Structure 1
């Protein structure tokens, strides 16, 4: 939890409100910290989509609560991916044993 809080505040407040992420701050966080999980976070349309999806109160910024929704969604997606990979490996192992 501490790492998530520190990561958010590392980028929030570089411009404007220190408790929210502006679109440029969000983009920097996505590219630097989550690029491996989000694919092409450099793509302007992708950043706009993430911003639109997260900014639930439509204030043009992402607060910590909105940011945690992203972290939760990514965690679920990663868990599903790794579970699928594990299931595939187990099926291959079963075929070799038959």
Structure 2
């Protein structure tokens, strides 16, 4: 939990609004924290769409609640992926 707060705050503090991530801060966060996911998706337009989808209330910024919602979805996807990989390799 503390890591999520730290990651959000370290990127939100890049401008004067420490409670929200703007589009550029979000893109920077993706590039630094989720580089492998972005590299596997070479479609820049899709990356922009993901960032737009993060902004649920369409105010042009991503607040902490929106950020945690997406982080939770990513964690769940990763967990499911590794669970399936372990089953395929014979681990339980």
Question: Could you say which TM-score interval applies, normalised by the shorter chain?
Answer: 0.7 to 0.9
Query: What count of residue pairs does the alignment treat as equivalent?
Result: 90
Gaps of 5+ in 2: none
Q: Which runs of 4+ in 1 moved over 6 A?
A: none
RMSD: 1.9
Post-superposition Cα deviations, 1:23-73, rounded to whole Å, max 9, x if no partner, equal 10000000101122x233785313321122110100011000000011101
Structure 1 regions of 5+ residues with no counterpart?
A: 92-98
8 Å Cα contact 2:11-2:21 kept in structure 1: yes
Q: Give 1 or 2 for the bigger CA radius of gyration.
A: 1
- TM (norm. structure 2) is 0.86
**Could you state the TM-score of these two structures normalised by the residue count of structure 1?**
0.81
Q: Which has the higher contact order (CA 8 A, sep 6+)?
A: 2
